[in-house]
Structure 1
């Protein structure tokens, strides 16, 4: 949790040259009138509302903005609660301000936010002296959240590439420029003493065109009288030919033409509700452009930086069909292909249960520039970025470099809520020693409009949907033309897609809910040894679903067993959250499973690590005992967990064996037998750069310790090795699940009738990865659990009497964490 963001500060003159140069207009310095802000001499003693009144009056009374108007009264934007109030004022084009009534919030060009004067509460200050829980620290955090919420909303609603914002703190102000990489700001300036600076900035802002103000030129705002605006209303209206999407048999003759599922049109209709603006978006399709009509995003990632993913049910202007349009900012430094290129490979190879690509492409030369300024400010030998060519035009050069395969060296970065690499988040402090990520605007359109996984109707249906995605994953990883691993298997990337499949006799058809494995942008070839970029020591992806092995060893490549474990964690989460079981508190259980002792940023050491590394079964905390679903789900989860426990036992034994060579072995052979590079292991543990032994005494000591003889224990049995082999590839897992689904003892009503709102383990995220459900909250309760009873032999294999002791969950989690630390120090 943080009080500030990394702010690249440019002096006023440098900021103006870089960002405030109106196209085709030569701006001359204009002297300010005599004390235009005389009424604000004592602004440090005033409340924000009073400051805004005097400020707006001064700007309007002295005609400081040509062709624009600073307005205090305009319609309230959505998605801003009381803690994130709307900006007190905003600059509008004069033509957008009606003579009667209020201006529309989506027409604002530059938001202006007013705060009272509180020393140390400037969220853009680099000062580190503010304490986290002090009154000033809380005020600083609150202001940052308000500014971030405003920027986040305008980025989404106005299709912004970047955003200017004027922030007033009593008698001082900053002009701030936000983009998906970070923030550039002017110094905190006393506008009462230096009115010329503010007058010049306001005049330049009023002369900038929409592109120079950060508006996306490929997104055209649709007025209510536009023909495409009316087409959207017609397309959203109820049609009698639409059919219900529930699983059922369809009689012959019911599908006379290509059907439209009701939920698709309903989603599009919901996106047009309220006063959210409508747009016509252009998407690259080879050498041509295609147009799509969109309203409010169905899905919107949180945060002002990072990928900023938005998902739309879009209307194709040419075909008249509904499609799914994904608008995002991709990280150019990542060693991955564009998602559309991967989907095209999957489609060409005939891989089923993956999205069908319509078109995709980068959005012109739109890219971030804050990262460029960061590098120039922190590179001693860099040329001084004083010319205008070092701002927006530079981004096009960087975008071109990324498409030709040129990559830049980067250090560890921070992760935002969607799981993507980002330089700052609404709650996060940025260390100024870390370089910022470079992002490129990107859009991809696919045919399928799917539903979230949480819409499943029964436990059997949940397993069937996951099985479809397992099939897609296996075919993608084994097809000679693909050989690719997904590397971000999570609940948000497994969707439900209803399909119409003909009956075997050909006389009718059935609507079947199938699984759809989406979001392939982090995928890499299976034989690739390249480790994904680390984000502050954490692997990219949805961290809560990542295997325990990858969380423990961030530098190792992804294996099939890691992907299968992610599928297991998806099943565990959605089963406990939505399927009837003997778990009386699903929210608390999920919290303890995915997070260590309820700590939101500790992803190993909780019940998840205990289940796969030590127990091999699921247990409840209240009441104490095995977690049971009273269905084949028990056998499914129990067998998979038993297999993964054996998998971790074998891995630990082999690693221990490699660290403990026989006494007769030579020192050279012992060194060669080490499973990992010691320097890389130390770097993975402490997130340090790899150095030589001579330069690092700690590294030399570490290398000496790993060469010491370590006695071998816990030798895996033949049964352990057999169980471990079951999760080495897809064969057993898919065949086993397929057999279980064919059983007749699955209950039809095991879906909770009124499901709770479970804590979602999705990040950021990510995760690209962003969830509709609330984030988990730490659980302060300490609870106990026991080994399984006799009636759960299928779900939980028996254990020796010496290991069946009652322990508190936090104690066991701490023991796991401690044993892991010991293994790392060994």
Structure 2
């Protein structure tokens, strides 16, 4: 990039997220002009003075933005202040908001483009501050006076205009795709599955995002894959993390140029010491673990590392750029058409989890609906007349640990995984090590989540239904607080449900396969937690079935009985947790939960029921992206929501009130449980995957200062 243009974007936000920096620098290319130029009507309607400003107006367009500038004039919005000859981050709400606004803009650029770093500028009255941001932290100069004939600002802008793409922060391993590349995708997309067609449209054609070509070197080919370079097209990401620092994971629906099939490209910035995820897949594929994805390529991207830790002393880790390509582009778990599909997918995933543990000694440690997908087989790979089998895949193994690693203890402080689906035991004991039972409990929690989100249910106490659902989800899946050791803790309501064997809600169709499965899973978790604490209620005798199927489906042949399924159930395995003389550690091995799912899958041979309804979480205004609901609710995606983010304190107070009310309702429901119809038998119920709570905390800390210590601003740019 040799030519940059500057546009006044302060009144015209980007279409997708509603953010609008005051000035934005763009490359002077046809693609960028198409994105930032305003229509003639918009230009005429713009209220600007003086009139000469009109020619410089443009729209914020993060996929094409190079650098941005943010202006502040009010005294209380000055991000920094001088204390004893040192500039420090100003510790006021308005100053924190001003810094947070800039960090959001920098994050938006890094999310929308293949970037290693970003430059941006803050101007407060006659003072300018130059920033450099990468995925470890943000660094900046001391504020300086930029007025006069010669200043550091004009020197910086001159050099900015002379930078090439790599110096501006663009990833040199990614190049713009050609028109021929994009046309090739369009030529074959009609032959793909409906889900893959939707992904192609969103990634390459309808979003307006640039399309890039990524080349993976032959030496990074996966286990038993051809030793040759691989070329893939990527566009708008399927998933991205709204955090300025951390792993910065982005997942793309990618097009494999060689095979003309859709696949998955995952791009992230793990800590320098971390082992690549492809090594876990090598072990899995060598052991022939079923129902997992196939790794085509994986490895670190050249010598790309974060540089901010080199220019100032800090405890934040150096991060290295990593990329992995999976052969499959799976359909998300929440896209199931009926509970039958959901049950089969979960059964497949449990088998994959068991095989990985028994054959490789790997514990996945992040069982969530975001890491369970349906295998979306391309129609061109099926025989004539062949129907695709229903098959679930367990993906995302970057948090997996071997038995030796589990025994050696944690390498970082904080609970890694997806908070909503972490077991009650781990949430209430923040220093405890993961066990098989914790991953299996996560599967039970996933089934609860899906039942609440997509199936009809009723409540065992008289409450406002919509209000109760939101309270219950926040309390049961989201609640967290700090203990005295500064660890995140939670899981109180999960623990209560498992130890009492009662829910505060009940599925409406008590005769369905899903509900019977949920009942059995609740009893399984209840028995397991009895070995830790309470006593179990006696279940009621089963009711007679009145089942009538709506349609049928074909499970994958990998679910047919095998020698491992027919073995007698082993005694519960060893556990590090304290037990009592009541209950059994029924989740310590895979045997019992697999037997429960096997029974449910056999029941599905009669046919499936169209029992999935519209998204109840969406109906009550709760987000369902791949990170915490509570966190996602604070992410401004449109201008109106940006205004609402200013009411943070009020919303937090309301949320705490909701949680307290939900706790009271839970107690009422537990007391009235035996009086409710059918309640004597235990019944039960998609933005960082949090990439570990330490990243969430890092994102919050970034909004309060340049680093966590905030000791001194550095002349680092």
Cα distance, 1:640 vs structure 2: 2.7
Matched, 1:215 2:148: no
Higher relative contact order (CA 8 A, sep 6+): 2
Q: What's 1:512 paired with?
A: 389
* Equivalent in 611, 617, 642 of residue 497 of structure 2: 611
How far off is 1:239 after superposition? 5.5
1:291 correspondence with 2:231:
yes
Render the CA deviation track for 1:273-292: whole Å, top value 9, x for unaligned.
24311111122331664221
Give distance in 1, aligned partners of 2:176 and 2:131. 25
Q: Tell whether 2:129 aligns with 1:174.
A: yes
Whole-angstrom CA distance in 2 between matches of 1:98 and 1:265: 28
Query: How far, CA to CA, are the matches of 1:305 and 1:596 in structure 2?
Result: 24
In the TM superposition, residue 172 of structure 1 has moved relative to its aligned partner by 0.9
Alignment partner of 2:243: what SS?
coil
* 1:751 pairs with one of 609, 612, 616: 612
1:144 Cα offset (Å): 3.2
Aligned mates of 1:66, 1:459 — CA distance in 2: 55
Match of 1:266 in 2: 198
Task: Give 1:521 deviation, angstroms.
Answer: 0.5
Could you tell me which of 727, 734, 738 is aligned with 2:598? 738
Is residue 143 from structure 1 mapped to residue 98 from structure 2 by the alignment? yes
Is 1:188 matched up with 2:143? Answer: yes
Verify: 1:116 aligned to 2:48, yes or no.
Answer: no
Q: Give the structure 2 partner of residue 691 of structure 1.
A: none
Measured after TM superposition, the shift of residue 760 of structure 1 is 5.5
User: Which of 491, 512, 524 pairs up with 2:401?
Assistant: 524
* Structure 2 equivalent of residue 90 of structure 1: 25
Residue equivalent to 2:519: 638
Q: Which residue among 280, 288, 309 is the counterpart of 2:249? A: 309
Q: Is the Cα contact below 8 Å between 1:328 and 1:443 reproduced in 2?
A: yes
Aligned to 2:693: none
Q: Over aligned residue pairs, what C-alpha RMSD do you find?
A: 4.1
Aligned to 1:495: 373
Work out whether residues 117 and 171 of structure 1, in 8 Å CA contact, stay in contact via their aligned partners in 2.
no
Deviations 1:182-237 (A, max 9, x none): 10100111212694222222223223222122111111124xxxxx3233134235
Distance 2:603 2:369 in 1: 25
Between the aligned partners of 1:297 and 1:217, the Cα distance in structure 2 is 18
Shift of 1:572: 0.8
Whole-Å separation in 1 of the counterparts to 2:10 and 2:31: 11
Give me the whole-angstrom Cα distance separating, in 1, the residues matched to 2:524 and 2:138: 48
Which of 435, 440, 443 is equivalent to 2:320? 440
Please report how far the alpha carbon of residue 650 of structure 1 lies from its aligned counterpart in structure 2 after TM superposition: 2.2
Look up the match of 2:358.
Answer: 478
Structure 1 pair 541/456, CA: closer, same or farther in 2 (3 Å)?
same
Structure with larger Rg = 1
Counterparts of 1:214 and 1:143 in 2: how far apart (Å)?
Answer: 24
Structure 2: distance between partners of 1:487 and 1:468: 17
Match of 1:206 in 2: 161
| TM-aligned CA deviation for residue 169 of structure 1 | 1.4
**How far did residue 763 of structure 1 move?**
6.2
Q: Aligned to 2:609, what secondary structure does the other structure show?
A: coil
Provide the secondary structure at the position in 1 that maps to 2:603. coil
Q: Distance in 1 between matches of 2:88 and 2:475?
A: 36
CA deviations on 1:698-757 (whole Å, 9 max, x unpaired) are xxxxxxxxxxxxxx9x9533xx2xxx2321200111011111232268871321146441
When residues 301 and 66 of structure 1 are mapped into structure 2, their CA distance, relative to the original with a 3 A threshold, is closer
- 2:91 is aligned, of 114, 127, 130, to 130
Compared with structure 1, are the counterparts of its residues 772 and 97 closer, same or farther at alpha carbon in structure 2 (3 Å cutoff)?
A: closer
SS in structure 2 at match of 1:454? helix
Conserved? CA contact 1:301–1:770, under 8 Å: no
Mark the CA change 1:768 to 1:499 in structure 2 (over 3 Å): closer, same or farther: farther
What is the CA–CA distance in structure 1 between the aligned matches of 2:399 and 2:629, rounded to whole Å? 10
Whether the 8 Å CA contact 1:487–1:524 is kept in 2: the answer is yes
How far, CA to CA, are the matches of 2:149 and 2:400 in structure 1? 53
**Contact residue 542 and residue 767 of structure 1 kept, 8 A:** no
The whole-number CA distance in structure 1 between the counterparts of 2:309 and 2:633 is: 24
Q: Secondary structure at the match of 2:439?
A: helix
- Alpha-carbon offset, residue 76 of structure 1: 6.2
Measured against aligned partners, the alpha-carbon deviations of 1:53-92 in whole angstroms (never above 9, x if no partner) come to xxxxxxxxxxxx996554437996745544x313424264
Aligned residue number for residue 590 of structure 1: 473
**For structure 1, which segment, 754-763 or 768-777, has the greater mean C-alpha deviation from structure 2 after superposition?**
768-777
| C-alpha contact 1:592 1:607 (8 A) present in aligned 2 | yes
- Cα deviation code 1:127-174 (max 9, x no counterpart): 57735xxxxx1x334323432232122213331100111111121111
CA contact (8 A) 2:10 2:21 kept: no
User: Which residues of 2 match residues 233-252 of structure 1 at below 5 A?
Assistant: 233-237=183-187, 242=191
**Counterpart in the other structure of 2:710:** none
Q: Which runs of 5+ in 1 are unaligned?
A: 1-64, 132-136, 223-227, 243-259, 379-434, 621-625, 654-674, 682-711, 798-826
* 1:353 matched to 2:353: no
Indicate the SS of the match to 1:564.
Answer: helix
> Does residue 1:728 correspond to 2:588, yes or no?
yes
C-alpha change, 1:189 and 1:553, in structure 2 (3 Å) is same
Q: CA deviation at 1:523?
A: 0.5
TM-score normalized with structure 2 length: 0.70
Q: Does structure 1 conserve the Cα–Cα contact (< 8 Å) formed by 2:136 and 2:309?
A: yes
**Aligned residue in 2 for 1:560:** 436
Distance 1:650 1:754, change over 3 A: closer
Deviation, 1:550, is: 1.5
Corresponding residue for residue 698 of structure 2: none
- SS for the counterpart of 1:211 is helix
Shift of the alpha carbon at 1:342? 1.0
> Secondary structure in 2 aligned to 1:511?
coil
Cross-structure match for 1:278: 211
**Judging changes above 3 Å, is the alpha-carbon distance between structure 1 residues 496 and 321 closer, same or farther for their aligned structure 2 residues?**
closer
User: Structure 2 stretches of 5 or more lacking a match?
Assistant: 39-57, 221-227, 460-464, 535-574, 638-650, 685-717
Q: Is this contact kept in 2: 1:594–1:761, CA < 8 A?
A: no
Does 1:332 find its partner at 2:293?
no
Map residues 811-826 of structure 1 onto 2, 5 A cutoff: none
1:124 & 1:494 partners in 2: Cα distance? Answer: 48
Alignment pair present for 1:716 and 2:581: yes
Contact 2:173–2:214 (8 Å) recurs in 1: yes
Residue 352 to residue 97, structure 1, CA distance change in 2 (3 Å)? closer
| Rounded Cα–Cα distance in structure 2 between residues aligned with 1:328 and 1:767 | 23
Query: 1:804 corresponds to which residue?
Result: none
SS of 1:562 mapped into structure 2: helix
Q: Equivalent residue for 2:346? A: 466
1:232 maps to 182
Rounded to whole Å, the distance in 2 between the matches of 1:174 and 1:651 is: 56
Q: 8 Å contact 1:182–1:370 — kept in the other structure?
A: yes
Matches within 5 A, 1:651-690: 651=532
Task: State whether residues 355 and 518 of structure 1, in contact with CA within 8 Å, keep that contact through their aligned partners in structure 2.
Answer: yes
Kindly tell me the number of residue pairs found equivalent between the two proteins. 569
Equivalent residue of 1:354, what SS? coil
Q: CA deviation at 1:633?
A: 3.2
State whether residues 68 and 93 of structure 1, in contact with CA within 8 Å, keep that contact through their aligned partners in structure 2.
Answer: yes
